[in-house]
Chain A
Amino acid sequence: MIALIDYGMGNLHSVTKAIERAGGRIRLVKTPEQLKDCDRIVLPGVGAFRDCIGALHQSGLDEAIKERCAAGTPFLGICLGMQVLLSRSFEFGEYKGLDMIPGDVICFPRTLPAKGLKIPHMGWNDVLLPEQAHPVLEALGNQQCYFVHSYYCVPDDETHTLAQCGYGDIRFACAIGRDNIISVQFHPEKSQAAGLALLESFLQWNP
């Protein structure tokens, strides 16, 4: 059973259907109790950082997720679900994150549009994998994935960066992780065949 964390911010149809298409069975999880007998955890990204972290805290899911991750349950974060893993974010102020991956979430520089690069970074872009790609990311091959975000993650420890993406002359971490945790900035549930392949490989991953 895959725990899909529902913190009440919006639509989880696409990510539910995509995981089901990839072969997983979903349970929408709103409380720590519902998390208990799940084999894997997916934290999707909807809404703003502040609202997401606030909702996770209120429900107690923040601590429950940390505990399950510490116990080795495979975890996948998507978009905002990746960003909340970091220590803090500067989206509409300064907010503390789950601090599971040390680092900051910062905005693309306001100087980008003058160079013809739009904010948000929106569309299909390359996921640049290192030679020894993470087993979950390997499934992507050289297919592009769909991104839509104005903020990006800067992990303190560069070994936590699992893949990069280039936007103008900025290279940012578009996949991060350690141990049984992996998170991606792009949306696998919106990335057609590439995204479904990634979800399939997450479902089979035994870290």
Chain B
Amino acid sequence: MLSKRIIPCLDVAHGRVVKGVQFVDIVDAGDPVEAAIRYDEQGADELCFLDIRASHENRDTLYHMVTDVAENVFMPLTVGGGVKILEDIENLLHAGADKISINTAAIHNPELVKEAAERFGSSTIVVAVDAKRVGDAAGEHWECFTHGGRKPTGINAVEWAQKMSDYGAGEILLTSMDCDGTKQGYDIPLTRAVAEHISANVVASGGVGTLKHLAEGLSDGKADAVLAASIFHFGEYSIHEAKEYLASHDIPVRL
């Protein structure tokens, strides 16, 4: 039976792992290869690296980092941050990434996703969707935001995820901007609305504070995978503990 995936997410800047709250107070949190090896030993199913300071000047640093990680751990690697054109995707794949996450560039140029999926395969292309609740109680829905949740786009997030799936994205990395950083749990109605509507895989992100939240994302939210950063980084829980908890709640995981 296919296991639900647990994906620790690492923010990186200038080739180093960083920790920060809401992009403020960013501190160096170490070597990406060491962090990857630690998660590998704990039984992570995949790793996600997001370059939060992506710029064209420091792309080579990111490529070297991806290569170093890929040569040391033998599991799938998703890399995102600053991906704008097909060449960025190609460079990251050549460096050793398995999946590339596209965010703002997909909003500006949806055709990029279609072209990328045709050229590199759907299984390689992830679209990151940052969604925020808008409207009043009568007409509430979720809208896509860019720039870390600051810029509204007017695009309905569920419809957008559907469109990106139709355009060939194999996976949607769905982050609730309302829940991100709150440690109050994923936005379950959002996760479920997207997961039930699209053929692509859905990774729930944003808001995890406890192991129960992971279980809720997978069972109630119907996500295929859950992504979490801080509960794993700060050593609150190991990946293995998370999986044992999920297994004890009848969620299929790889132990």
Q: Choose one: A18, A113, A120; the contact of B198 (CB below 8 Å).
A: A113
Within 8 A of A (CB), among B133-171: 170-171
Q: Which residues of A contact B1 (CB under 8 A)?
A: 125-126, 166
Question: Is the C-beta of A87 less than 8 angstroms from some C-beta in chain B?
Answer: no
Q: What secondary structure prevails in chain A residues at the interface with B?
A: mixed
Question: Is the C-beta of B219 less than 8 angstroms from some C-beta in chain A?
Answer: no
Q: Which residues of A contact B170 (CB under 8 A)?
A: 120, 122, 148, 150
Chain B, interface size category, equals: 35 or more
A-B contact pairs, 23 of them (CB 8 A): A11-B95, A13-B95, A14-B71, A17-B71, A17-B72, A21-B74, A47-B121, A116-B222, A118-B202, A120-B122, A120-B123, A120-B170, A123-B2, A123-B5, A123-B224, A124-B2, A125-B2, A126-B1, A144-B254, A146-B45, A189-B74, A190-B76, A192-B73
Query: In the complex, what residue of chain B is closest to A165 when comparing beta carbons?
Result: B2
Cβ-defined contact, B96 with A122, below 8 A: no
Residues of B within 8 A of A (CB): 1-5, 40, 45, 67, 70-76, 93-98, 120-123, 170-171, 196, 198-202, 222, 224-225, 254
Give the number of residues in A that approach B within 8 Å (Cβ atoms).
36
- Measured CA separation A21–B73 after assembly (Å): 11
Q: What secondary structure prevails in chain B residues at the interface with A?
A: loop
Cβ-defined contact, A10 with B122, below 8 A: no
For residue A146, give the distance in angstroms from its CB to the closest CB of chain B: 6
Cβ-defined contact, B171 with A13, below 8 A: no
Residues of A within 8 A of B (CB): 10-11, 13-14, 17-18, 21, 47-48, 110, 112-113, 116, 118-126, 144, 146, 148-150, 166-167, 187, 189-192, 195-196
Q: Which residues of B contact A122 (CB under 8 A)?
A: 123, 170-171, 201, 224
Counting chain B CB atoms within 10 Å of each CB, which of A112, A119, A148, A189 scores highest?
A148
Counting chain A CB atoms within 10 Å of each CB, which of B74, B76, B122, B200 scores highest?
B74
Q: Which residues of A contact B71 (CB under 8 A)?
A: 13-14, 17
Q: Which residues of B contact A192 (CB under 8 A)?
A: 40, 73-75
- Measured CA separation A118–B170 after assembly (Å): 9
Q: Choose one: A18, A47, A119, A149; the contact of B74 (CB below 8 Å).
A: A18
Query: In the complex, what residue of chain A is closest to B97 when comparing beta carbons?
Result: A11
